[in-house]
Amino acid sequence: MGEYILEMNNITKVFPGVKALDNVTLKVRKGTVHALMGENGAGKSTLMKCLFGVYQEDGGEIILDGKKEVITSSKQALDLGISMIHQELHPIRFRPVMENIWLGRFPMRGIAVDKKEMRRKTEELFKEVGLDINPEILAGNLSASTLQLVEIAKAVSYNSKIIIMDEPTSSLTINETEHLFKIINQLRDKGCAIIYISHKMEEILKISDDVTIMRDGQYVGTWNSKELTTDLIIKRMVGRDMTNRFPDKDYEVQEEVILKVDNLCSSDHKSFKNVSFELHKGEILGIGGLVGAQRTELVEAIFGLRKIESGTIYKDGKEIIINNVKDAKKQGFALLTEERRATGIFGILSVLDNTVIANQKEYSRFGVLKEGVRYKAAKQSNESLKTKTPTLNEEIQNLSGGNQQKVLIARWLLTDPDILILDEPTRGIDVGAKYEIYSIMIELAKKGKAIIMISSEMPELLGISDRIMVMCEGRVTGILNKDEADEVKIMNYSTKFIK
């Protein structure tokens, strides 16, 4: 297969209670995009963390440019020409973008940081990757998609021989993704090797040269991307044929309207305006739109996380007032947030604690927690969703993305909500875990629960929604029934700005 810039041979990594990597092989050619694929929990991120020095492998060897290396830290990996863009971004939000990029290697003038030179180098870097933002803007003021592009610029700044990209397009629009692909092609042409982790099949087939597939911590095989199709990749990832990406929907949406939103406007006058829609019992209402459509802002306002200037919310035909999350929970609402690591999980707490935390009062008496009741509730809820975890005492941050998401759904199901709001529920999780989450949604709808699902994935909107509401710049531009919706109509409504 040509010259290998990287060989990872027989890599093994063991954590308490689980063998995360079992003799895994990865061989990457210089000047290629090498896709690394597998279901959540397959070991992709663990393998890359071994390469980047976050973890130390328990067995096997890493050969870089023909030389065996033992990589014990991320700094050493960077010095060797390996950089990594992590799936979950953790910028220093209260510091300027340029400081985030050059942290630990500030240009100096004597004993002082040369901010003028730092700005010049940042502007030069942004020009190279086509990013048009002020280098001195605070990182916390940028959107998730812009932060992703900043991280890519940072990786480029190291002049790396190998760049690991873990779900780089999870927060990007179609146009931003195309822009990223241009950057990747430029890097490839310069001889850089890109290791590209993604669950988006169409992207993989479009951008990659080679594809390595892993399953359950083991190496399945490596193929030239031209030999593969979406169906072949899925079969090799899950170890079985998946003829349908979405479960069959064997229920009827009820006529009863459980939620009515009438002319809702945000308090800042910059977000959503005059939003009206209805949600029926047993319905999955998809919300589509591009980044900046204010979909997340809308559902956060309905859940009491943002202030509403005007408009009315009706539940079961009665007007309700939601001033905060406590009010929303009392009214039977639950919200699965978009950024599970930032606003969903409590990383250092156990699966048990993360599951019961939204319903904690039910498991205490006179201020004393009833551990047996807590454990039983968490066990039943997670077993019903088939959450994979060594034990309920495992820190949730050690689970795969798909299993973290299941724990969060289990958390909210324990509150027995009438209306479940899911903001990008399958972002960054694999095709098998997606199917399981879709099945959970359908089972809930069959029981009469109402679901609002925000999704940026067109196939998901079309495959799982009963109706699709499309937003653009804070306005509802169209509502489509399942049988009339298609990608062209959704995209047209997504770009149809209403003054």
Render pLDDT for 331-370 as a digit per residue (tens, 0 to 9).
999 998 877 666 778 878 888 888 888 777 777 776 666 7
Mean pLDDT estimate for the chain: 87
Closest CA to 128 of 167, 101, 104, 91: 101
Task: Say what the pTM is.
Answer: 0.62
Question: In this predicted model, which residue has the larger pLDDT, 69 or 413?
Answer: 69
**pLDDT attached to residue 89:** 67
Q: Give tens-digit pLDDT for 449-478.
A: 999 999 988 888 999 999 999 998 899 999
* Domain 4-238 and domain 257-494 have a common topology: yes
Q: Can you read off the two tokens belonging to residue 75?
A: 């700094």
**pLDDT attached to residue 17:** 65
Closest CA to 411 of 337, 472, 465: 337
CB 250 within 8 A of CB 444: no
**pLDDT attached to residue 259:** 97
| Cα–Cα distance for residue pair 296/299, rounded to 1 Å | 5
For residue 66, the cross-strand partners are none
The ranges assigned to domains in the chain are: 4-238, 257-494
Tell me the residue type at 269.
H
Q: Give tens-digit pLDDT for 144-179.
A: 778 878 888 888 888 889 999 988 887 677 777 888
**pLDDT attached to residue 342:** 67
**pLDDT attached to residue 243:** 60
Question: In this predicted model, which residue has the larger pLDDT, 395 or 347?
Answer: 395
Q: In whole angstroms, what separates CA 282 from the centre of its chain?
A: 26
Lookup result for tokens 């095989």: 221
**pLDDT attached to residue 1:** 42
Q: Can you read off the two tokens belonging to residue 56?
A: 């130390």
**pLDDT attached to residue 27:** 96
| Cα–Cα distance for residue pair 330/250, rounded to 1 Å | 30
CB 297 within 8 A of CB 271: yes
**pLDDT attached to residue 499:** 53
Whether domain 4-238 has CATH 3.40.50.300: the reply is: yes
Decide if pLDDT at 200 tops 90: no
Query: In CATH, which of 3.30.200.20, 3.40.50.2000, 3.40.50.40, 3.40.50.300 is domain 257-494?
Result: 3.40.50.300
**pLDDT attached to residue 368:** 67
Segment among 259-263, 363-367, 398-402, 419-423 with least mean pLDDT = 363-367
The predicted model gives 19-40 an average pLDDT of: 91
Residue 387 CB partners (closer than 8 Å, separation 6+)? 351, 399, 403, 406, 407, 410
